[in-house]
Chains A and B, each alone.
Chain A
Amino acid sequence: MAWLVVRLAISLSLLYTASAVFEDQVGKFDWREQFVGKVRFALFDTHSQASKKLLVATDKNVFASLNSRTGDLFWRHVDKTGPEGHIDALLMYGQDAVVVVGNGRLLRSWETTVGGLKWEAVLDTGSFQAAALIGVQDFVKYVAVLKKSAISLHDLSSGSQIWVENLPDSDTVQYQTIYSGGNGLVFVLGFVPSSHIVIVEYKIEDGEIMKKKSVEAAWMSSLENSCAVISSGNLLCVDQITQSLYILPLQSAEHTEMRQIHLQTLDLEVASGFQPVLTSTQPNPAQPPLAEFFLQLSPDHHILLQLKDDLIAPLRDFNPSYLAAFATSGEKTVAAVMTPKNETACSINLFSADTGRRHLDTTIIYHMDPNGGKPNRLYVHAFLKKDDSVGYRVMVQTEDLTLTFLQQPGRVVWMREEALADVVTMEMVDLPLTGTQAELEGEFGKKAGKVQHGLLPMVLKRLSSQFILLQAWMAHLWKLFYDARKPRSSVKNEVTIDTLSRDEFNLQKMMVMVTASGKLFGIDSKSGTVLWKQYLEDIQPNSIFKLIVQRTTAHFPHPPQCTLLIKNKDTGLGRLYVFNPIFGKKSHISVPALPRPVLQTLLLPVIDQDYAKVLLLIDDQYKVTAFPSTKNVLQQLQDTASSIFFYLVDSSQGKLSGFRLRMDLSTELIWEVVIPTEVQKIVAVKGKRANEHVHSQGRVMGDRSVLYKYLNPNLLAVITESTDIHQERSFVGIFLIDGVTGRIVHEAVQRKAKGPVHFVHSENWLVYVYWNSKFRRNEFSVLELFEGAELYNSTVFSSLDRPHPPQVLQQSYIFPAPISTLEATLTEKGITSRHLLVGLPSGNILSLPKMFLDPRRPELISEQSREENLIPYAPEMPIRTEWFINYNQTVSRVRGIYTAPSGLESTCLVVVYGLDIYQTRVFPSKQFDVLKDDYDYVLISSVLFGLFFATMISKRLAEVKLLNRAWR
């Protein structure tokens, strides 16, 4: 009976919280963008002329097929992260794509039309060196994989291993390349640094070593880029130090030395310090490569050369030229070369590979984005036109990971911003008011402390702004009328940076995203359109970013201002980049130089006379730099210095230290907590979010008394993990420390628990997830802090005056899935109930009501607990598929969830980022402040009008009747 009651209670409570999206709401206020990452291999499907496929393999371990007409994904396979899923090689033949994964661990063949796996073969251990398709008698039948000490040959149609052979002297010789010219032999090329080249010849049928020879090459340092096989088995190498080309026929027995050709004899010279690159092409794996090849002599100098009758002759010199690539269509091989045209544009031209002659009318103009990076890869898709001439399209990849697909004469077919596959941090900024709204606001938006002048000018200004408003309203009406005549489909609301304005409920915001490659994006949160982008050059790959919104759009004549702190991890030095988050333009505000490594930043609620919040930067000598640092700010800082505190957590030393600001912007250490690093190490520290509002100061009990929340804004949650990882002895430690006084408010140890710990610290609660290594399951634990039935001080909160420790309640639950990230919803006033957003590795985002994570959930139901609407305690946490806020729009590799309040109290904006970006709105307590989407306006208005007319008519009738009676 009790069990029945419990279940009934649970299902009733679920009734209240169940909130899934209806079918017709799909895509209404949410969107998803899918990315692949930095392209490492890209191949066009040249199997058939009509094919639109472009296969890419990326550094994010993604193998995908793109539609080359639109840039959309046909399909995408996301492999494991890290070296295990690393894609080593991508080969394509016909309909099949062969991929080597995980440093030569797996060999997979994919069917390219639908992306189905055809076969998979597990390879022997050994680090991967090279893979090649092997053809026999004009048919490509095999794929060869070269490892450090072995070579194996696999059947292309089934994946079965034909043979595997150990390489001779593999401990001294570095084998790096495979070559086969379709004549029944496989050559494996290796070298001993600064000594000689080793060439081993295998028979395809049984892997028998036919020949093995070594050739002197004392200058050799690497085979991979500086050597290439050209024209029926001639190994060609280039060396920068000796400024020469070396050539060797692979098959001939008599040559024991490479023939040296000085570059000087060709009137060429390699730029000093540049490693020259040889690029050859083998259009068909069953046939020998072409005799033509590119030699890159400097970063912007390529030359097309040809080997003919053992002589190397230049066909065409491209100076200057950024990029060059070969492409084949049918029997014709062409070379596309990108040359700079002017400051902002490049031209790409097509040249015939065998003669070096330029094809007429093949120029593509590529306009470089002034806010982007330089182009660094060129992929060419050549095709035969109807008149048998060669047409082509190109895909250009730039340093900032933009893929641009162009066709003649320079039309951008599509563009992909792959930098967004690696978002590091983001913020949401309110959009500015429209010009008209701003005009009105302008009356009040004077500098702080300035006196208003004159009554008459103000009246005139008000009148003129009202007039402008009227004008805008007329224009809006006219536009409505104009659009109404057009068919529905042709009316498209294009979002551009000029038409941006805040909507009624502030639901549309600007998402400012910082990516690991150093590119900043401004994205419209409603549609996902990239409105601005800015590539920051010279960003080290492992830099740390911190994005701070210093001024929002609320202070009209002053533009909003964001500051990005970029810290180089190697040198420790940081710099500030200040920009306008709406337009992406760099501000011309003078930025303080940071000569010393920055340890942390602190955004103060103190504002300067231009309404910018003051940012304090703490360097490694604990000196503070203020930005902006005007006189006004320094004065304010001096006044408030005694109440400004900051804390630093040094994980390597296990030390938490608190500092107080002095008048002269130096600091004094006021507390220190040391957590011995031998036992446990600090993994994460989190305070509360600065923009969080708590509406209710307490919780109402069943007997209608109040349990007041312990709302300490200075509370820090410190999570530690034990250094001992034995499953019996490992533990997770949780410390709640007051950041001002350093007092440990609460301390808990979760035994037999392991990280990674995900946690959310908000209001008066802390929710954390860990792995229970004893029961082998994920567990949620919630800590709630209460002051008790009395508030100590209801007007001000000071950490320095807190005599009573809070009451701490805790409860744990079993969560039936691993999680990848955790965040809580956030609303404007904090009235709406909170939900936890749980990112699952499956790519779903679960919206879990905080109600389920409540340490006051009773084990036995009583009258009072029922009065409080507490759900009876059940150890298992349910996962309901209707709680997935992103239904089937899964987000691969969720790295972070960002929540922002909107202008509606019921609505919280959510952005999930990882490999993909997903934006939606959530309504934790349903949309209590908006009419429903399916609200029956027609019915209501018709009833209203009906009633109105009925009253009018009946009033008239009543009058007539009265009159009649009066006459009687």
Chain B
Amino acid sequence: MTSPGGQGGGALSVRGGATSKRMKWAVELSLGNSRSRSDRQSKDGDVMYPVGFSDKPVPDTSVQEADRNLVEKRCWDVALGPLKQIPMNLFIMYMSGNTISIFPIMMVCMMAWRPIQALMSMSATFKLLESSSQQWLQGLVYLVGNLLGSALAIYKCQSMGLLPTHSSDWLAFIEPPQRLEIMGGGMVM
């Protein structure tokens, strides 16, 4: 799009790409102006990859003993995450108070939402913990932590008066009673 030459070069390279199916390999000899697909990944377009180079990293599949400890530790971190947040939550709860205004509501929402979200994506977490030997214990701890977090949120809602636990919360739904007698009259006219 920039210059006619460039456009031509681009077209040439596309043709090259299209024909790559037939040819086993092709070497692009033109330098400078040419923008091939691999060029786009490298920031400066004039670096040439050698033949056989792949820009995808190759995973290191060799497992070592020190890594296993690290994995265990990492898994415990994940499992204890919700529990560790509880003191912080308690502090926020205390600070935000029981008045109903935008900030406490936002905080309560956050507090309630995070454990629920975590519980919803439980399976993903389990997959994460798959590699650990204490997978089930960690899962349980994780679950308990999240349940505790949501219980805390519910408690906060309760203390803020957001839960419909009183009879007054259901007052608006009481239908007026039907009257059984018809009555009327008045002063003698």
Contacts and interface: CB of A to CB of B under 8 A. Distances in A.
Contacts of B175: 794-795
Contact of B182 (A640, A696, A700, A704): A640
A734 to B, nearest CB: 16
Given A706-B167, A713-B179, A797-B180, A696 B172 contact: yes
A682 B179 CA distance: 28
Interface in A629-684: 640, 643-651, 682, 684
A968 B1 CA distance: 8
A799 B181 contact: yes
Contact of A600 (B1, B166, B176, B185): B185
B161 interface: yes
Nearest to A739: B183
B179 A649 contact: no
Contacts, number: 120
B186 interface: yes
A324 interface: no
B172 A646 contact: no
A121 interface: no
B168 A700 contact: yes
Interface string A776-799: 000000000000010101111111
A602 interface: yes
B188 A685 contact: no
Contacts of B174: 697-698, 791, 794
Interface residues of A, number: 56
Interface in B146-189: 161, 166-169, 171-172, 174-189
Contacts of A505: none
Given A599-B188, A649-B188, A697-B171, A798 B180 contact: yes
B176 A711 contact: yes
A567 interface: yes
B178 A701 contact: no
A739 B184 CA distance: 8
A794 B177 contact: yes
Contacts of A789: 167
Nearest to B1: A967
Contact of B167 (A650, A651, A705): A705
Contacts of B1: 967-968
Contacts of B180: 643, 796-798, 800
Contacts of A740: 181, 183
Contact of B166 (A705, A739, A798): A705
Chain B binding site: helix, strand, loop or mixed by DSSP?
mixed
A690 to B, nearest CB: 8
A600 B181 contact: no
Give the most central of B168, B176, B177, B181: most A CB within 10 Å.
B181
Given A795-B178, A797-B178, A649 B189 contact: no
A391 B29 CA distance: 119
A857 interface: no
Contacts of B189: 544, 546, 567, 574, 598-600
B184 A685 contact: no
Contacts of B166: 704-706
A684 B187 CA distance: 8
A793 B186 CA distance: 28
Contacts of B176: 693-694, 697, 711
A648 B171 contact: no
A645 B181 contact: yes
B138 to A, nearest CB: 42
Given A694-B176, A793-B177, A685 B186 contact: yes
B6 to A, nearest CB: 11
Given A567-B189, A649-B186, A643 B181 contact: yes
B177 A795 contact: yes
Contacts of A648: 185-188
A598 B188 CA distance: 9
A605 interface: yes
Contacts of B167: 705-706, 789
Contacts of B177: 711, 793-797
A604 interface: yes
A443 B170 CA distance: 39
Contacts of B171: 696-698, 700, 706
A818 interface: no
A603 B184 contact: yes
Given A704-B166, A704-B168, A705-B166, A714 B181 contact: yes
A442 interface: no
A818 B108 CA distance: 54
A627 to B, nearest CB: 14
Interface string B66-102: 0000000000000000000000000000000000000
B187 A651 contact: yes
Contact of B183 (A640, A687, A704): A687
B168 A645 contact: no
Nearest to B184: A602
Contacts of B186: 600, 647-649, 685, 687
A648 B189 CA distance: 9
A705 B167 CA distance: 6
Contact of B188 (A651, A693, A697): A651
Contacts of B184: 600-604, 646-647, 687
- Of residues B166, B171, B175, B176, which shows the largest number of chain A Cβ atoms within 10 Å of its Cβ? B176
Contacts of A696: 171-172
A869 to B, nearest CB: 14
B9 to A, nearest CB: 14
B179 A796 contact: yes
Interface string A542-579: 00101000000000000000000001000000100000
A701 B171 CA distance: 12
Interface in B116-172: 161, 166-169, 171-172
A40 to B, nearest CB: 30
Given A600-B186, A685-B186, A798 B181 contact: yes
A59 B182 CA distance: 43
Nearest to A798: B180
Given A794-B174, A796-B177, A714 B187 contact: no
Nearest to A642: B181
Contacts of B178: 795-797
A647 B185 contact: yes
B185 A739 contact: yes
19 contacts: A567-B189, A599-B189, A604-B184, A643-B180, A649-B186, A682-B187, A694-B176, A695-B172, A704-B169, A706-B166, A711-B177, A713-B179, A714-B183, A739-B185, A740-B183, A794-B174, A795-B177, A797-B180, A798-B181
Given A685-B187, A711-B176, A740-B183, 13 more contacts: A600-B184, A600-B189, A645-B182, A648-B187, A697-B171, A705-B168, A713-B179, A714-B179, A739-B183, A739-B185, A794-B174, A794-B177, A797-B178
Q: Enumerate the 8 nearest inter-chain pairs by beta-carbon distance, A residue then B residue, closest first.
A: A602-B184, A647-B185, A646-B185, A704-B166, A700-B168, A797-B177, A798-B180, A967-B1
Interface of B: 1, 161, 166-169, 171-172, 174-189
